[in-house]
Amino acid sequence: MSTALVTGATAGIGLSFAHQLAERGHDVVLVARDRARLENVSDELRAKYAVATEILVADLSDRADTGKVAERLADPARPVDLLVNNAGYSLRKRFLDNEVSQEEALFDVLCRAVLVLSHAGARAMRERGHGAIVNVSSVAGFITSGTYSAEKSFVTVFTEGLAAELAGSGVTATALCPGFTHTEFHERAGVSMSGVPEFMWLDARRLVRDCLDDVAKGRVVSVPGAQYKTIVAALRVLPRALVRSRARTVHRPSQRPGRC
């Protein structure tokens, strides 16, 4: 039986990954900050799917905690076959209105942790000749909307480079780039999304299922939803000056997007 490790596993897309991987028979290592929520999810997965679970309490903005998760990924006695780097959040204010310490913490979770954990996981998987890494990025990485977009852009491009480096090794890397998704993400960020039309919203369970299908096909960038496939295709060819001007029009000082 294979083992998957999921960060940010107690809510939203990460929770959907945990459930669907357990449903497919994977043992699951659950990583998040809240022990009580981790224990609740762990108990539910064991009872519902009869799989083994393990919890790791870790704040990925803390380097020591990130190192602890990396050590688990590198442990040859307990191999991890699938790594899902999902942990993330956003800040309500614009870059210059936040304290730099807040921006550094966000960078550590969205970028540094992805780099460190991908390094540990990919090295161990390459040694065994099989495995897969999913780095949860965002459609926001194709636009210019503050540091969240910049950090998600890093995740996508980093994953593309990692996939190229792993080619022929038996290990794959996939960047999942969802759009607006029905989770608790925006509520926890304190962001009202009432103005987003319903057709723009994705279902977390379906997008995870589609992503896992893309992983099985070895696809490097997974964009769920026909609407977002169309948007991303357009953003890849539009002049960057036009993308930047649109971002200035849409994002006002009182508004901040959540995960996209």
- Alpha-carbon separation of residue 98 from 140, 156, 175, 247 (angstroms): 19, 25, 28, 19
Please tell me the distance from the alpha carbon of residue 141 to that of residue 152, in angstroms, as a whole number: 5
| pLDDT single digits (tens) 46-64 | 999 999 999 999 999 999 9
Q: What residues are labeled active site?
A: 148
β partners of residue 131:
171
Please tell me the distance from the alpha carbon of residue 79 to that of residue 81, in angstroms, as a whole number: 6
Instruction: Tell me what pLDDT residue 45 has.
Output: 98
Instruction: Tell me what pLDDT residue 143 has.
Output: 86
Phi first, then psi, for residue 178 (nearest 5°) are -80, 165
For the record, the structure tokens of 119 come out as 């390094």
DSSP 140-204: GGGS--HHHHHHHHHHHHHHHHHHHHHTTTTEEEEEE---SBSSSHHHHHT---TTS-GGG-B-H
The rounded radius of gyration (Å) of the Cα atoms in the chain is 18
- Domains of the chain are 3-250 (3.40.50.720)
- Contact by Cβ (8 Å): 92, 256: yes
Average pLDDT score over residue span 208-214: 96
Instruction: Tell me what pLDDT residue 259 has.
Output: 38
Instruction: Tell me what pLDDT residue 250 has.
Output: 46
| pLDDT single digits (tens) 114-141 | 999 999 999 999 999 999 999 999 998 8
Choice among 3-17, 63-77, 177-191 with the minimum mean pLDDT: 177-191
